[in-house]
Amino acid sequence: MLIVQKFGGTSVGDLDRIQNVANRVSATRKAGNDVVVVVSAMSGETNKLVGYAEHFSKNASRAEMDMLLSSGERVTASLLSIALNEMGFPAIAMTGRKAGIVTDSVHTKARIEGINPEVMNNAIKEGKIIVVAGFQGVNEKGDVTTLGRGGSDLSAVAIAGAIEADLCEIYTDVSGIFTTDPRIEPKAKKLDYISYDEMLELSSLGAKVLQNRSVELAKKLNVNLVTRTSFSDEEGTLITKEENIMEKPLVSGIALDKNQARISLMGVYDRPGIASEIFTKLSDNDVNVDMIIQNKSHDGTTNIDFTVPVGDLNDAKSVVDTFVSSGDIKADSYNENICKVSVVGVGMKSHTGVAAKAFSAMASENININMISTSEIKVSMVIDIKYAELAVRSLHNAYELDK
C-alpha cells in the first residue's frame, strides 16, 4: 500500500517522541508499504514563533510571517528524516516547495492550487521514505506560504490525493474523533466512523482535531482518512462517505469555537446593495464572516450583527471604519467574550425537535442565547464565553451522547 502518515505537534513534541514516530514509520515501511510522512512543528513551536514576531511588531507583513512560521515544520521534517536514515531506512526530508505544493498568494492562509508529485513519485520509486514539512507551499512567484493554523492536516490530505495514496492517517494526541472534545467532556465517546459532511461541520465549527479545509479536500478527492493516536495501537476513526455508514445517529457531536468575535453595526443606512457592499469588502479583505443577522428596518436604518474569527477582527474593523466614515453606518461595537456551540448530525435531516432540545438545554442552565443559525445538519448558538464548557457538557448530556 501507499500510505500518507501525518504526525501533529504533540506527536513530535520532543526528541523521544520523534524517535517514537520514526519507529512507527519504519514499522509501516518494514511491513512492505511505501510511506510519505507529513509532520507538524513541535507542539508550541508555531505559537512561540508568533510570539517572537509580536515582540517586534503586532502588524508584521504576512509574507514575512510565512517565512518565519514555515521554519517550525522544517525542523521536525529534517530531524525525523535523520532519525530514519540512522535506523537504516533511507529517507529524504522535503520542504513544501520540493514536494511540489503550489498555493495562491494569500499569505498565512493560502489555498493549495495544485501539487506536482513528480519529485515525490521519483523518491518513492527509489524506495525512500519521504518526510514532508507540513503547513507550507510556495506561490507561483516562489514565495513561501503557509496554509492556516492546523494546516499540516491539509498538506497530508492534498499529498494523499496527488500521489493517489490508498490511505491517509492523521496521528494526534487523542485516539480518534469523539462526540465532543474529550478534554471538555471526559464522558465523550470515540466514534468508529463519521461522514465527511459531519466532520466538515464539526471542524468548521471549532473541533480542531482536523483542519476544516483538509476534510473538505478529503471529501472532494475521496481520500480514505483515519484519525488515530500516535501513542498506542488503538484503532482510530474512519472519515468516509455517508453511504458507507450503516448507523446514522440523530446527533454525532458537539463542537465549541471560542475563537469568535461578534461585530454589531448600528444604524446601517437601509438601501438596496448596502449588505452586498459591506460583505463584499469584507470578503475582498479575506475576512471570514459567519453568522449574520439583520434586524427589521426602522426609520430607514437597520442593525446588522455578524461573527468573525478573532484573528480576522482587525481587518474587519478597518473595513467597517470606512463605512462609518462615509456615514453608511452610525455606530459599531465589538465583543470578543463570546463563543459558538454547535450540535452536528446527519440524522437531523429527517427529524424534528433537535434545535428545540438544544435551546432547552441552554435554558436549563440559565444560559442566554445571543445568536442562532441552523443548516440541514447543524444548530449553532452564540453565547457568553464564560458558559462555553458548561454549554458543551449540557448539550452532550441532552442528546445522551455518553450512552
Strand, coil or helix: 224: coil
Smallest distance, ligand ASP to C-beta of residue 134, A: 6
CA 200/CA 213 separation, integer angstroms: 8
Does 183 interact with ligand ADP (rule: CB under 6 A)?
yes
Given a contact cutoff of 8 angstroms between Cβ atoms, the answer to whether 107 and 62 are in contact is: yes
CA 170/CA 209 separation, integer angstroms: 9
Bridge pairing between strands 371-375 and 301-309: unpaired
CA 38/CA 161 separation, integer angstroms: 13
Q: What order of strands is seen across the sheet that includes strand 292-294?
A: 292-294, 301-309, 253-269, 329-344, 378-384, 371-375
Smallest distance, ligand ASP to C-beta of residue 375, A: 26
Smallest distance, ligand ASP to C-beta of residue 204, A: 16
Pure H helices in 326-366: 354-364
* Residue in 13, 72, 100, 150 binding Mg ion, rule: CB under 5 A: 150
Binding-site partner at residue 174 among ligand ADP, Mg ion, ligand ASP, none, CB < 5 to 8 Å by type: ligand ADP
By beta-carbon proximity to ligand ADP, the closer residue of 174 and 320 is 174
CA 37/CA 5 separation, integer angstroms: 5
Question: All 3 cell numbers of residue 184?
Answer: 471538555
Does 8 interact with ligand ADP (rule: CB under 6 A)?
yes
Does 46 interact with ligand ASP (rule: CB under 6 A)?
yes
* Residue in 28, 115, 117, 135 binding ligand ASP, rule: CB under 6 A: 135
Smallest distance, ligand ASP to C-beta of residue 54, A: 15
* Residue in 172, 212, 307, 342 binding ligand ADP, rule: CB under 6 A: 172
* Residue in 5, 10, 214, 260 binding ligand ADP, rule: CB under 6 A: 10
Count, residues near ligand ADP per rule CB under 6 A: 20
Given a contact cutoff of 8 angstroms between Cβ atoms, the answer to whether 145 and 138 are in contact is: yes
CA 168/CA 184 separation, integer angstroms: 27
Binding-site partner at residue 236 among ligand ASP, ligand ADP, Mg ion, none, CB < 5 to 8 Å by type: none
Q: What order of strands is seen across the sheet that includes strand 144-146?
A: 112-115, 101-103, 136-138, 144-146
Residue 133: count other Cβ atoms within 10 Å of its Cβ: 29
Does 389 interact with ligand ADP (rule: CB under 6 A)?
no
* Residue in 4, 5, 9, 131 binding ligand ADP, rule: CB under 6 A: 9
Binding-site partner at residue 46 among ligand ASP, Mg ion, ligand ADP, none, CB < 5 to 8 Å by type: ligand ASP
Binding-site partner at residue 180 among ligand ADP, Mg ion, ligand ASP, none, CB < 5 to 8 Å by type: ligand ADP
Does 207 interact with ligand ADP (rule: CB under 6 A)?
yes
Question: All 3 cell numbers of residue 220?
Answer: 472532494
- Could you tell me how many helices (H) and strands (E) the chain has, helices first? 11, 18
Smallest distance, ligand ASP to C-beta of residue 308, A: 19
* Residue in 134, 161, 253, 267 binding ligand ASP, rule: CB under 6 A: 134
Task: Say which DSSP state 38 is in.
Answer: E
* Residue in 97, 149, 228, 378 binding ligand ASP, rule: CB under 6 A: 149
Residue 204 CA: distances (Å) to CA of 213, 235, 254, 344: 8, 24, 12, 11
- Applying CB under 6 A, the span of 29-37, 40-48, 294-302, 342-350 interacting with ligand ASP comes to 40-48
* Residue in 150, 176, 236, 267 binding ligand ASP, rule: CB under 6 A: 150
Does 267 interact with ligand ADP (rule: CB under 6 A)?
no
Does 137 interact with ligand ASP (rule: CB under 6 A)?
no
Bridge pairing between strands 34-39 and 371-375: unpaired
By beta-carbon proximity to ligand ADP, the closer residue of 174 and 218 is 174
DSSP string, 170-221: EEESSSS-BSS-TTT-TT--B-SEEEHHHHHHHHHTT-TTS-HHHHHHHHHH
Does 145 interact with ligand ASP (rule: CB under 6 A)?
no
**Residue ranges binding ligand ASP (CB under 6 A):** 8-9, 40-41, 46, 72, 134-135, 149-153
**Residue ranges binding Mg ion (CB under 5 A):** 8, 150
**Residue ranges binding ligand ADP (CB under 6 A):** 8-11, 40, 150, 172-174, 177-178, 180-183, 202, 207-209, 253
